[in-house]
Structure 1
Amino acid sequence: MTTRTLRAGLVGYGFAGQTFHAPVLSAVPGLALGAIMSSQAAKAQADWPGAAVVPDMAGLLALPDIDLVVVATPNEMHFPVAKAALEAGKHVVVDKPFTLNAAEARALADLARQQGRVLAVYQNRRFDADFLTLRDVIASGKLGRLVYFESHFDRFRPEVKARWREQDVPGAGVWVDLGAHLVDQAVQLFGKPDTLQLDTAVLRDGAQVNDHFHALLRYESGPHAPLRVVLHASTLAAHAAPRYILHGTRGSYLKHGVDVQEDALKAGERPGGENWGVDPLVGELKVHAVGDWVQTIEWPNRRGNYVDYYAAVRDAILGVGPNPVPPEQAVAMMELLDLGTQSAKEGRALAP
């Protein structure tokens, strides 16, 4: 096993590159930010003086010491940039959503296998404090057989901003943006649903793409049946719903608030420190005790840590650990996102 530091090249220095990728991967021992491809050369150099700043992919791929390419571009560029990096023999991390559709996802997965390179999608919200805690609640068995789960990502952003995510371009809209997280979390918990039904809407004044979605996942077979899962995201929720609602035959779990890491990163904080990833809003368990009596329990939160994702990528590249989000999972996710888009167009539930 080599002990040298792996060097990453970051493609794109917009919101995702600045906020989620550069500071998080740089906090991983044995992984360093070696280069940034960006049109914002002065800002990138000022923020990361130790990294080379290049204007295009040719310049990035020409650097001999880059082991890993991180794709943090607008969504429609994910496929061509990742393809070029894999063809150049690099390991690749792609921000979510993986690609624009499942066909592109399968093509990249095949290419990564042919090249013998690690290809992973940045599903960082598997490392949210609330999600890690939710997994503990489910594993405890205290709720009995699970029957209903609701997962919300509600925000209040009434003004449409002049950025690609809110323009009528390929890969825009909250279904592929936030749905990629919520569907992934649901599949991690319960597996692939038997049917998916999606409703999307354009609700804000001046909005060009969907800024609201409501998805119903039905589980009619398998270990969790019968189970209903609701996934919901809104940009007009000044009074946000609970992050999670989980009902079982012996009780319920309720959690307010979202993971604190995104806000910390947006404020310029770097991962690490005593309070990093600590969510102060604990969830509440109400469980059946004796007769009709219900016991209320505050359930302590796990600590979230996005750094664990990139540590797992490092280990996968070094051959000492599994890929945190392997290509087959990424392909399956894109198939479900495509299915949701088709469901919204047809106005009916569809089976994968």
Structure 2
Amino acid sequence: MLTIAYIGNGKSTNRYHLPFSTQLSDKIKIKTIYSRSGKSDWTPIEGVQYTTNIDDIYNDPEIQLVVVTTPSSSHYPLAKEGLLRGKNMLVEKPFTETVEQAQELFTLAKEKNLFVQSYQNRRYDSDFLTVQKVIESNKLGDLLELEMHFDYFRPEVPENSTYSRIDSFLYGHACHTLDQVISYFGEPDEVYSDVRQLLGKGRMNDYFDLDLYYGKLKVSVKSSYFRLTPRPSFILYGKKGSFVKETTDRQEEHLKQFYMPTEADFGVDLPQHYGTLTYMDDDNNYHQEKVISEVGDYSRFYEDVYQTIINKQDKVVKDDQTLLQIKLLEEGTKHLS
């Protein structure tokens, strides 16, 4: 059994973590949740200790893993404090603001024989898993281009925000999509970034377009706050065809409706969400077909963490993958102010 505590009792803990960690009740025990104020709009979980004293976590030898779900600027200091107090640490995205901070945490964990890792749960997004299935079917032939989009129409957010690197759009959202690219394709040969403040200097970063090159393959990671009509979640082009997945993973959609992973159809795509695969086969015959979506499941990330800490399996999110991601985030924002 892996015994867990959370630092933070807001939306991140209650919407994006607890519905999934509690799914593994045969492997994971949630013991303590800390928040500074002790106040929360979320329904308490029976049997869990809620505290305003963080030492209730650090001084409890039963707690093996501490999960940090607080605002981004606190991730590094809290992760460092937890490691120094002898706890394994799982840290929400973005992991840290700088490569230097991330490397310090990885070095400290290694010195103390502890686990520290970023919560890259979107490796288990339905659309991303489906894209992998399509690529590995080889129906597209050699892959030439892949576009990833994560768009919003929320102009009020950048209109009422000022610039902060750790809280920028690039750090807050490319930490998902860049990790997906790095986890599947590895380190790129070249990277070109177009990261903008569409409303001018001093305002939040509200647009980015990152192009990563892997030989002849170009992977584009794009996002904007000003897309009234969102672009497809994924578009793939190969020598023999294309694949378009219009809609994103539905787990977050269901969570916002308080439709939980305990439901059999939680996060499951309906036929209208399936992507379209169009290709020419080896006999030059034309095909167009719907691809049944893979099922996304963020609880798989907690399963990975359990296997690493309890059964000593390798970390799924490698240190060098996180360091590369943060390097690209740093480089992409260095011209902003």
Instruction: Return the TM-score normalized by structure 1.
Output: 0.88
Distance 1:243 1:26, change over 3 A: same
* 1:249-268 equivalences in 2 (<5 Å): 249-268=239-258
Secondary structure at 1:210 match in 2? coil
Structure 1 stretch displaced more, 119-128 or 194-203:
194-203
Name the CA distance, whole Å, in 2 between partners of 1:290 and 1:84: 58
Paired amino acid for 1:196: V
Name the CA distance, whole Å, in 2 between partners of 1:276 and 1:321: 28
| Same amino acid, percent of matched pairs | 31
CA deviation digits over 1:309-328, x for unaligned, max 9? 00110111102533221323
Q: Are 1:18 and 2:8 an aligned pair? A: no
Q: Which residue of 2 aligns with 1:31?
A: 28
Deviation of 1:197 (Å): 1.5
CA deviation digits over 1:242-287, x for unaligned, max 9? 1001000011010011111112222223323321231221111110
Name the CA distance, whole Å, in 1 between partners of 2:327 and 2:261: 33
Secondary structure at 2:258 match in 1? coil
Name the CA distance, whole Å, in 1 between partners of 2:60 and 2:318: 26
Q: Which residue of 2 aligns with 1:349?
A: none
Distance 1:47 1:263, change over 3 A: farther
Which of 231, 236, 249 in structure 1 is aligned with 2:221? 231
Deviation of 1:64 (Å): 3.0
CA deviation digits over 1:216-250, x for unaligned, max 9? 1122xxxxx21111110111212110100100001
Q: Which residue of 2 aligns with 1:314?
A: 306
Secondary structure at 1:160 match in 2? helix
CA contact (8 A) 1:38 1:44 kept: no
Which of 173, 187, 192 in structure 1 is aligned with 2:182? 187
Q: Which residue of 2 aligns with 1:335?
A: 327
Paired amino acid for 2:301: Y
Distance 1:105 1:194, change over 3 A: same
Q: Are 1:94 and 2:91 an aligned pair? A: yes
Deviation of 1:85 (Å): 0.9
Q: Which residue of 2 aligns with 1:175?
A: 170
Name the CA distance, whole Å, in 2 between partners of 1:268 and 1:42: 20
Paired amino acid for 1:234: S
Deviation of 1:204 (Å): 5.8
Secondary structure at 1:203 match in 2? coil
Name the CA distance, whole Å, in 1 between partners of 2:203 and 2:17: 28
CA contact (8 A) 1:279 1:303 kept: yes
* 1:222-301 equivalences in 2 (<5 Å): 225-280=215-270, 281-289=273-281, 294-301=286-293
Name the CA distance, whole Å, in 1 between partners of 2:41 and 2:56: 15
Q: Which residue of 1 aligns with 2:111?
A: 114
Secondary structure at 2:24 match in 1? coil
Q: Which residue of 2 aligns with 1:212?
A: 207
Secondary structure at 1:47 match in 2? coil
Name the CA distance, whole Å, in 1 between partners of 2:53 and 2:42: 15
CA contact (8 A) 1:160 1:207 kept: no
Paired amino acid for 1:81: L
Structure 1 stretch displaced more, 46-55 or 95-104:
46-55
CA contact (8 A) 1:76 1:170 kept: no
Deviation of 1:160 (Å): 2.0
Secondary structure at 1:315 match in 2? helix
Paired amino acid for 1:176: Y
CA contact (8 A) 2:183 2:321 kept: no
Deviation of 1:57 (Å): 3.0
Instruction: Return the TM-score normalized by structure 2.
Output: 0.91
CA deviation digits over 1:190-214, x for unaligned, max 9? 2211221212223369983111111
* 1:64-75 equivalences in 2 (<5 Å): 64-75=61-72
Name the CA distance, whole Å, in 2 between partners of 1:260 and 1:184: 19
Deviation of 1:127 (Å): 0.2
Q: Which residue of 1 aligns with 2:51?
A: 54
Name the CA distance, whole Å, in 1 between partners of 2:310 and 2:57: 22
Name the CA distance, whole Å, in 1 between partners of 2:224 and 2:236: 20
Aligned residue pairs: how many?
A: 334
Q: Which residue of 2 aligns with 1:151?
A: 148
